[in-house]
Amino acid sequence: MGRVEEVISEGDYTFENAKKSCLAVEGLFMWVKAIRDYFYIFRELEPRRDALILAEKQYNDKLSVENSKKSIIADLEQRLDQLRAHQVDKTKLVEELKV
C-alpha cells in the first residue's frame, strides 16, 4: 500500500490525466483507488470486528452458564416441591396419630 500511496500522491497522477491517456487506465485507476479505500476502511474496522467477535464469544459463554444455572434452579425447585408435599403428608399423618 505504501507504493500505491507514492504513485497516487504524485501531482500529475489524477483521474483526469488517466482518463485522457487511455480508457483502460481509467478503469485501472478507479480500481486502485477503490482497493486503497477498502484497505483503509478494513484497517480501521478490524479492531472493532475483533472486539465484536470477542464480545459475542463472551456473551455466548455467559449465556451457557446462565442456562446451566437455570436448569440447576429448576431441578432444586422440583426437589423442594417434592419435599413440601412429603412434609404435608407427614404433617397429616402426625395430626391423624394425635387424634
Burial class (CB in 10 A: 0-12, 13-18, 19+), 73: exposed
Average pLDDT estimate for 77-92: 96
* Model confidence pLDDT, tens digit, residues 32-47: 888 988 999 999 999 9
pTM metric for this prediction: 0.55
Question: What confidence score (pLDDT) does residue 11 get?
Answer: 65
Query: What's the grid cell of residue 30?
Result: 478507479
Stretch 8-31: mean pLDDT, rounded? 76
Q: What pLDDT is attached to residue 29?
A: 80
Q: Inform me whether the pLDDT recorded for 73 exceeds 80.
A: yes
HSE of 33, CA atoms in CB hemisphere, 13 A? 12
Looking at every residue in the chain, the average pLDDT score rounds to 89
